[in-house]
Amino acid sequence: MSQKEKVFQIISRELLNMIEIGKFSSGSKLPTEMELTSHFSVRRAETIHTVKARQIKNPLGSD
């Protein structure tokens, strides 16, 4: 049985994709929680979870 992807995983994947395709230039700041909330049409708690999950997985910014 396949598990459904969690919202924070989708946001994280999409955010990484935007970085990879150059939507954000090197050294630029990523969108705020409120901007992410609006862009992905999700609750603020989901964007907070995404940010925290990325910090735990990748605390220094390199995978």
**pLDDT, tens digit (0-9, with 9 covering 90-100), for 31-61:** 888 999 999 999 999 998 888 887 656 544 5
Record the tokens describing residue 12, joined without a space.
């994280």
Looking up tokens 């395709």 gives 21
The per-residue pLDDT for 60 is: 44
Q: How far is CA 38 from the centre of its chain?
A: 13
pTM over 0.75: no
Q: What's the sign of the alpha-carbon dihedral 2, 63, 30, 60?
A: positive
For 1, 22, 49, 51, the CA distances from 11, given in Å and listed in that order, are 23, 17, 10, 9
Following CA atoms 57, 24, 31, 41 in sequence, which dihedral angle do they give, to the nearest 10 degrees?
-90
Q: What is the mean pLDDT of residues 5-23?
A: 89
